Chains A and B, each alone.
Chain A
Amino acid sequence: MAVKTEPVTINLGPQHPSTHGVFRLRVKFDGEVVLDVEPVFGYLHRGTEKLAESRTYVQIVTLTDRLDYTASMSNNLSYVLAVEKLAGIEAPERAQYIRVICAELARISSHLMATGFLLNDLGAFATPLMYCFRERERILDLFEMLCGARITVSYMRPGGVLQDPPDDFWPALTRINDDLPQYFDELESLITGNEIVLARTRDVGTISAEHAINASISGPILRATGVQWDVRRADPYEIYDRLDFDIPIGAVGDTFDRYLVRIQEMRESVKIIRQCIEQTPDGPYRADAPWFIRAPEGDAYAAVEGPKGELGFYMVSDGDISPYRCKIRAPSFINLTALTDMLVGWKMGDLITIFGSLDVVLGEVDR
């Protein structure tokens, strides 16, 4: 007897434990199998780009914190680089080192969250997540020492940083940096060899290198497919050309590769921070830039390798104290373009883990 079946449409989100914010997926299921996915954005839209047009260049720094709130330092960095390019300001060397340290710390904390929430999506009852948060707490403590804020830091300014790090910042940074590799080992011993993790993530949600490049995907998701592309190497900004670090890549481009690439990147970040601690020179922490920057007419684009991918700010100036246009290239948003292709044909449990492995932050998607 043939059983009559019909597909079911289910709304995943905007309120759902695994949507990492307020994301909505309209999914058509055939039993457990995904037939079609339609992502729906915009529940967290705050008009950041429009708001930027009526704020001064320094005020916009606070808006950038709210984009990818797991790595606000990277957003700060990308923005101030664009403004410096636009206004022709050169940051002193000490400031550049401090900013690189901050950006790498932000990368570690963001990747830790990505790993923790991926495991949470896999169904591990919050234990790996809490492990990740334990380490992230210490990094946030460092940010607190720098500027008094932990998440929305607003630490960087066009031409440098807000203030010089306090004296006890450097020993604390060294201590944390030396501890981090042990934490990663601990995390890996819990996750990497786990049979269930392997069964759930290997060869799941694979995308090819061609597909990833065509969809303009960047960051760990692109590198997991085997493409060696990292803005820090391809188009060095700040002082990255003086540092020695590797670009880890994956072999297959599946969920497990994305996880592995993130873990390896965190280890590279530790290496970068160690070199920065040794090399940071004395000197001014901020260039002599005015509070009200009047950028000359023109446009500039600056991109950094954020934790999620290439994070760029395109600024257009008409000579006023606020930009004429501020366009944000948000990696989370662009990485979602291949979502439908990744999800179709997989089961519901895979849908959640694939989406989790993309490490999407909705503050950045909806801007």
Chain B
Amino acid sequence: MHEIQTAGILDFGSLERFFQRVLPDSLDRFAFFIAAFTLAFIVINVMVQTTAVYTWFERRVLGRFQGRLGPNRWGPFGMLQPIADLIKLMTKEDMVPKIADRWSFNLAPIILVFPTLLVVAVIPFGPDSFLGRLNIGILFVLGVTSVNTIAIFMAGWGSANKYAMLGAMRGVAMLVSYEVPMALGVVGVLILSGSLAMSDIVIQQNVPFLIVQPLGFLIFIAAASAEMSRTPFDQIEAESELGSGYNTEYSSMKFGMLFLGEFMAPLVTGMIVTTLFLSGTRGFDPIPGQVWFVGKTFAVVFALLWVRATWPRLRVDQIMAFAWKGLFGMALVNIFLIAVEVAVFQDDAGKISTNSLWIMSAINWAIAIGVIVAVANILGQPNLERPTPVPSPLANMYAEAD
């Protein structure tokens, strides 16, 4: 169906074929498992180590935003800081509260981490992803990331702590709500590309979908930052309110796992956004696609960090109102818009030419700005001007004493 067929990176199919060739015929049935374990080994190691680098990046960048230096003691530019953190976490005492629900308390960190790792398997780093051309890529991503909600509730419920419970309750309400605009934000991409496979979406992006449908991009990135609970949506942890939220009672490597899942989330979000909206591995020629991919991912991650470093947090009810009154409606407008445009612009073969994409971009930007202004007027603060202060007559020190 598509022109790019040669595997650029190792995917599951080629790995399995390789092991089938190498192993004697009698052991062929093990090729599947060996390939699976090899792939899991690669994904886990790559992701965990990238996350380590990312924690350094995040703290360093945040430091710069705040006029500090950030970690700079161990290794060049403090790059060995994640290792120091890891050693610190591993040597801490692993405490489980006496009244904790042990099963959910101990399982929660694992359940939080594994969906994030699973998502990586379908992201196309080259022409194909680790799993090959999985034809329901996006559905897989949306489905698997929902598991986070359960993990956070398990952690909050299991630790039998009121702060953790409050954080978990907020978390469930918020994560479930934001899944809706997130899924609806993706629908625009699906209509445009006509495929659920991540690698097909990349191929379809002759013009990056960020330019074609800015509204969809904004909805997705807002919902995604709520999904990974970052400011302005960091209700689950809400440090200044709940101490540490759902992970209050965790220590040692269990906390390390939660920490890992939490820091992996922006990276994975960056990858998904890059694939869906920033044309993934595509770029100018001399630079290989993988470099483009990593560069774009870190650009997205940097933008998320910028927001995190600057903005305060919304209140619980304001967050829910934003999801249901703001993002939900905007997502519906976006879907309607894209559907109509695709119906108008596609040719007989069902293809949309690059020129049409540019025309669509122009229309969409205008409508996006209009919709955002409208929503801001409905939901936003009505007027930024303050009423003129009037001195109260109750105690006026300028008044003459009788």
Q: Are B66 and A130 in contact (CB under 8 A)?
A: yes
Check if B67 sits within 8 Å of A134, measured CB to CB. yes
Q: Identify the closest chain A residue to B321 (Cβ).
A: A199
Q: For the A-B complex with A123-B313, A260-B386 known, give 5 more contacts whose Cβ atoms are closer than 8 Å.
A: A123-B231, A225-B392, A226-B391, A229-B395, A250-B389
- The yes or no answer to B232 lying at the interface (CB within 8 A) is yes
Partner among A125, A199, A210, A257 whose Cβ is within 8 Å of the Cβ of B318? A199
Task: Indicate whether A196 sits within 8 Å of B312 (C-beta atoms), given known contacts A123-B232, A225-B392, A226-B389.
Answer: yes
**Can you sample 5 A-B contacts with CB below 8 Å?**
A18-B240, A123-B239, A127-B65, A198-B384, A226-B392
Interface string of A16-45 (1 = CB under 8 A from B): 111000000000010010000000000000
**A123 and chain B: residue at smallest CB distance:** B313
A226 to B388, CA, bound (A): 10
Contact present for B381 and A195 (CB under 8 Å): yes
Q: Using known A-B contacts A125-B308, A196-B232, A348-B241, determine if residue A227 contacts B395 with beta carbons closer than 8 Å.
A: yes
Residue pair A227, B67 in contact (C-beta under 8 Å): no
B309 interface residue per 8 A CB criterion = yes
Q: Of all chain B residues, which has the CB nearest A8?
A: B162
The reply to whether the CB of B238 lies closer than 8 angstroms to some CB of chain A is yes
Q: A131: nearest residue on chain B (CB-CB)?
A: B67
Question: Which residue from B68, B240, B318 sits with its C-beta under 8 Å from A120?
Answer: B240
Complex contacts, A123 vs chain B, CB 8 Å = 231-232, 234, 238-241, 312-313
| Those of A120-151 within 8 Å (CB) of chain B | 120-127, 129-131, 134
CB distance from A181 to the nearest CB of B (A): 19
- Assuming the contacts A10-B163, A121-B240, A251-B387, asked whether A200 and B315 have C-beta atoms less than 8 A apart, the reply is yes
Tell me, rounded to whole Å, the shortest Cβ–Cβ distance linking B389 to chain A.
4
Asked whether any CB of chain A lies closer than 8 Å to the CB of B295, the reply is: no
Residues of B within 8 A of A198 (CB): 381, 384
Do residues A17 and B243 form an inter-chain contact, with CB atoms below 8 A?
Answer: yes
Given the complex, which residues of A lie within 8 Å of B390, measured CB to CB? 226, 251
Closest residue of chain A to B397, judged by CB?
A234
Q: Is the CB of B238 within 8 A of A349?
A: yes
Binding site for A on B (CB under 8 A): 62, 65-68, 162-163, 166, 170, 231-232, 234, 238-241, 243, 308-318, 380-381, 384, 386-392, 394-398
Which A residues form the contact surface with B (CB < 8 A)?
8, 10, 16-18, 29, 32, 119-127, 129-131, 134, 190, 193-200, 202, 209-210, 213, 225-230, 233-234, 248-252, 257, 260, 347-350, 352
Query: CB-CB < 8 A to B396: which residues of A?
Result: 227-228
B243 contact set on A, CB distance < 8 A: 16-17
Candidates A213, A233, A251; contact of B388 at CB < 8 Å = A251
Most buried by A among B166, B313, B318, B380: B313
Task: Flag if B66 contacts A228 (CB, 8 Å).
Answer: no
Looking at B241, B309, B386, the one whose CB has the most chain A CB atoms below 10 A away is: B241
Contact A228 B240 (CB under 8 A): no
Q: How far is the CA of A228 from the CA of B392 in the complex (A)?
A: 7
B162, B232, B240, B318: the one contacting A352 at CB < 8 Å is B240
What residues of chain B lie closer than 8 Å to A352, measured between beta carbons? 240-241
Q: Of all chain B residues, which has the CB nearest A204?
A: B315
How far, in whole Å, are A348 and B165 apart by their CA atoms in the complex? 14
A126 vs B390: C-alpha distance when bound (angstroms): 34
Given contacts A123-B240, A228-B397, is CB(A194)–CB(B311) below 8 Å? yes
Whether B398 pairs with A228 at a CB distance below 8 angstroms is: yes
CA distance A10 to B397 in the complex (A): 42
Q: What's the count of A-B pairs with C-beta under 8 Å?
A: 130
Known: A123-B240, A125-B62. A349 touches B395 (CB 8 A): no
Cα–Cα distance between A16 and B392 once the two chains are bound (Å): 37
Top 5 A-B residue pairs of the complex, sorted by shortest distance between their CB atoms: A123-B313, A122-B312, A234-B397, A130-B66, A124-B312
Chain A residue with Cβ nearest B162: A10
Give the chain B neighbours of A210 by CB distance below 8 A. Answer: 394
CA distance A255 to B312 in the complex (A): 15
In the complex, what distance in Å separates the CA atom of A226 from the CA atom of B166? Answer: 37
**Distance, CA A193 to CA B384, complexed state (A):** 7
B314's partner among A8, A193, A196, A257 (CB-CB below 8 A) is A196
Greatest chain A CB density within 10 A among B238, B311, B398 is at B311
Chain A residues with CB under 8 Å of B315's CB are: 199-200, 347, 349-350
Contacts of B394 in A (CB 8 A): 209-210, 213, 227
User: By the criterion CB–CB under 8 Å, are B391 and A196 in contact?
Assistant: no
Q: Which of A202, A210, A227, A252 has the most CB of B within 10 A?
A: A227
- Shortest C-beta distance, B294 to chain A (Å), equals 25
Decide if A127 touches B310 in the complex (CB within 8 Å).
yes
Contacts of A230 in B (CB 8 A): 397
CA–CA, A190 and B310, complex, Å: 8
- Decide if B314 touches A127 in the complex (CB within 8 Å): no
Q: Which residue of B lies closest to A227 (CB)?
A: B392
Complex contact A127–B66 (CB within 8 A): yes
For A350, list chain B residues within 8 Å (CB): 315
A15 CB to nearest chain B CB (Å) = 9
Q: Which residues of B contact A226 (CB under 8 A)?
A: 389-392
- The smallest C-beta distance from B312 to any residue of chain A, in angstroms, reads 4
Chain A residues with CB under 8 Å of B66's CB are 126-127, 129-131
Task: Name the residue on B nearest A119 (C-beta).
Answer: B312
The reply to whether A194 and B392 form a contact with Cβ atoms under 8 Å apart is: no
Say yes or no: B392 contacts A209, CB within 8 Å: yes
Complex CA gap A249/B238 in Å reads 32
Cross-chain contact A130 with B239 (CB below 8 angstroms): no
A194 in contact with B312 (CB, 8 Å): yes
- When chains A and B are docked, how far (Å) is the Cα of A24 from the Cα of B168? 23
Contacts of B388 in A (CB 8 A): 251
The residue on B at minimum CB distance from A231 is B397
The reply to whether A200 and B317 contact each other, CB–CB distance below 8 Å, is: no
